[in-house]
Amino acid sequence: MKKLYFLLPFVFIACKTSTSTVSQKETKPESTEITYKVEESDVSDFLKYLSSDELEGRETGTKGIEKAAVFLEDFFKKNNVKPYFASYRDTLTNFKSPAFNIVGVLEGTDPVLKNEYVVLSAHYDHIGIEKKKQADQIFNGANDDASGVTAVAQLAKYFSKTHSNKRSILFVFFAGEEKGLLGSKSMAPKLKAKNFNLYTQLNIEMIGVPMKRDYLAYITGFDKSNMAEKINEYTGKKTIGFLPKEAEYKLFYRSDNYSFFEAFGKPCQSISTFDFENFDFYHHVSDEFKVMDIQHMTAFIQEFLPAVTKIATTPTEEITMNK
């Protein structure tokens, strides 16, 4: 997640009073039946490598993030996810040294709906190596945001196996997020200029540990669209809730969803389980694989399968901006 240093001293300040809740019907709708099972070992193996010391904190423009890029390209190839551009690499236009978003696409199965796109994204960069000499100098970024990348990768694998997307899906791993959303700021206008027909974007940010709340995750910009309501309808559960701190700290503007919202004016939001109470290692060298809850991450991805499937298949665009 883009820098929140100025927020952290105020983490325990009382939230603004809010009575916002997810709008739900009295009778919960049935979710889309999903027989596909997300494998805990797949989640664990993927996350373990992406947050390993070998990648040296994945800072944009370094050898470490280059290793991560190759890893992600190989994952796409293995799962028959094609490059969207000439290659999987989308070069950033706003960074001094070579840096790349990694972008794959699965074409939709419907002859009409395949012209509409759903973007599933996360940022694969982090903040690299601590300059001070100390026992551990590597900012591994397991939660931020190797966890989100892992979720998007497993969603790509799911759709590549099931072919259950009538709309086309763009899978994007952004670089430069920690430098000021550079990857998404570079890519969104480029797609807009190509008349990219965006339906919606789900950006996944920091889902490595669970919250102690009566919902699984929160969404940034809760009141900007009906996305939370529709996701809960599609899963048949209270998957998404309202987090007052998200609104207080304006997190909607602090991750890669915002660049796409600015360019397209469509529902583009981030989903997270980092609630400022459940994780002490934000931008810390202890944000490592060993403190991630793999069982929670696997369950999170599994619970989202009905939602992303419905988003990719509904005959009309049901997720809309609030007026």
DSSP letter for 199, please.
Answer: E
What integer pLDDT is reported at residue 3 of this predicted model?
60
| Amino acid found at 143 | N
Instruction: Answer whether residue 213 is part of any domain.
Output: yes
> What does the pLDDT look like over 275-316, one tens digit per residue?
999 999 999 999 999 999 999 999 999 999 999 999 999 999
- Residue 29 lies inside a defined structural domain of this protein: no
For residue 252, give the CATH number of its domain.
3.40.630.10
Evaluate whether residue 320 is within a structural domain.
no
Task: Look at residues 123, 126, 3 and name the one whose alpha carbon lies nearest to residue 60.
Answer: 126
| Total tally of structural domains belonging to the chain | 1
Query: CA–CA separation, 314 vs 187, rounded Å?
Result: 26
State which residues form the domain around 151.
Answer: 36-311
Task: Identify the helix (H) or strand (E) that includes residue 89.
Answer: strand 89-91
- Position 258 scores a pLDDT of 98
In a domain, 321, yes or no: no
Q: Is residue 26 part of a domain?
A: no
Helices (H), strands (E): how many in the chain? 8, 9
pLDDT, tens digit, 9 for 90 and up, residues 215-271 = 999 999 999 999 999 999 999 999 999 999 999 999 999 999 999 999 999 999 999
**261 and 321 Cβ atoms separated by less than 8 Å:** no
Residue 295's contacts (CB-CB under 8 Å, 6 or more residues apart) are 40
Is 13 inside any structural domain?
no
Global pTM exceeds 0.85: yes
Model pLDDT for residues 105-154, shown as the tens digit of each residue: 999 999 999 999 999 999 999 999 998 888 999 999 999 999 999 999 99
User: With contact defined as beta carbons under 8 Å apart, do 115 and 59 qualify?
Assistant: no
